[in-house]
Amino acid sequence: MARGLMIFTIVSIWVSVFFSLLTIYGAVTFLLKNLKPPKRKLDPLVEYPLITIVVPAHNEEIVIKDTVRAILNLNYPKEQMEILVFADNCTDNTYEEALSVTRLPQYADFNIEIIQRRGKGGKAGVLNDALARAKGDWLCVYDADAMPERNALYFLVKKGIEDPKNYAAVFGRNKTRNYKQNFLTRCINLEVVTSQRIQHTGLWQLFKIGHIPGTNFIIQKNYAREIGGWDNGALTEDTALSFRIMEQGKLIALAPQAEAFQQEPETIGVYYRQRKRWAKGNYEVITGNLKHLFDKSNWRIKWEVFYYINTFFWFNCAIVISSGIFLVNLVTMLLNFIGFTLQMPFTFGGGNRQIAAILLVNWAMMFAIYLLQINIALVSQYGQATTENFLYSVASYFTYSQLFLGVSIVAFFSLVLDRIFKRDGTKWYKTQRFND
């Protein structure tokens, strides 16, 4: 039993290392292929389809004005934008704050509507309401805290019209706008930069696999209607939609120059509740799509299911078990040191040096790859490749990544308990905003 656990742990870590190196290879290839100086002037698009921009906002009075203003300043023909801002079941001044921007004289002739909504379904419910009334050819979604860069919509549309037959949706990159606030936001920034610059680019380069990130994306309106829109009440409606798109053989394309700036949690409590919801939602989606590993689904969705299993289940399980092996052996060594005579529970060949050496090599390898992917990502983003961020990346391995692992474990057991006791686990936690 003990030997089996050790072998499982070591093999699992090596599998995860393989996936990480493969993704890094794809990301570096993508970065080198797209290493071009930015154009001073953008070329006109061959067409400018009508875009319905949707902003779901629940009690977002702190951030909504900046987001609405950024959307109204997008470099896209204003007559080709329909903007719908939903003040969803708000108990604060979200509606009034958003409305105040539309009353500014420079925005008088924009097609924008601020809607007071009292429906159900959370963000997914808002998106389905918008889908039913949208006039645009594409639906564009920005969260209330996500300020798009001026050319973001231009680049999303440019990618979408490149291959509208295969590209059901297009997503851009998100950046942390408040990353300098404290140690937590610095670490979140490293996570965001790495996911955007390594995971997203690597998977797109190698397999043409993309994920709808929840904000800063467009989706073909008629296609979204055909597949039934968003799942009302889903904890991670974006991940669920991504799997449905891939299930039908369509692609979610990456537009790397389309960028938006979003606010991240600034306290541990807010971070814990947000990330727990995300992890739990991802677990729900994974368990709901396990069947695709064994049915006749296309290879991309099979790969995606396996990739998620490796990331959220297999690797986390291996880390927990390896930590347990280390702690049990450490406690046994300490007890023997103070006079007890106990046999080491986890050994190879009757000794502890072998297992210790193997686990040490595995740990060193994971640590090196962790730093490698973060710092490749930092180098590829302007202004991020600093000595300060390198030191934060080292510190984050021993702090932030362990916190993330803990949250993932709690989320998993929360989902298990929901299933056992038939609890309603779809309660939506509203992420607190900060007035930076």
Average pLDDT over the chain, rounded to an integer? 90
Q: Is the pLDDT of residue 252 over 70?
A: yes
Give the C-alpha separation, 152 to 157, whole Å: 9
Q: Is the pLDDT of residue 246 over 90?
A: yes
398 dihedral zone (left: phi>0; alpha: psi -120 to 50; beta): alpha
Sign of the C-alpha dihedral, residues 274, 276, 278, 281? negative
Tens of pLDDT, residue by residue over 112-142, are 999 999 988 889 999 999 999 999 999 999 9
Helix (H, G, I), strand (E, B) or coil at 329: helix
Tens of pLDDT, residue by residue over 363-398, are 788 889 999 999 999 999 989 999 999 999 999 998
Q: Is the pLDDT of residue 352 over 80?
A: no
Q: Is the pLDDT of residue 362 over 80?
A: no
At residue 249, φ and ψ (nearest 5 deg) are 85, 10
Tens of pLDDT, residue by residue over 29-88, are 999 998 877 777 899 999 999 999 999 999 999 999 999 999 999 999 999 999 999 999
Q: What is the model's pLDDT at position 1?
A: 63
Helix (H, G, I), strand (E, B) or coil at 350: coil
Asked if 139 contacts 130 with a C-beta cutoff of 8 angstroms, the reply is yes
Token readout for 250 is 């369509």
Asked if 253 contacts 167 with a C-beta cutoff of 8 angstroms, the reply is yes
The predicted model gives 184-204 an average pLDDT of 96
% of residues, the chain, pLDDT over 90: 65
Sign of the C-alpha dihedral, residues 120, 123, 128, 129? positive
Q: Is the pLDDT of residue 214 over 90?
A: no
Give the C-alpha separation, 75 to 44, whole Å: 11
Q: Is the pLDDT of residue 436 over 70?
A: no
Give the C-alpha separation, 52 to 162, whole Å: 19
Q: Is the pLDDT of residue 349 over 60?
A: no
Query: pLDDT class for 298, splitting at 50, 70, 90?
Result: very high
Least confident of 86-90, 147-151, 283-287: 283-287
Q: Is the pLDDT of residue 99 over 90?
A: yes
Residues 6+ apart with CB under 8 A from 28: 376
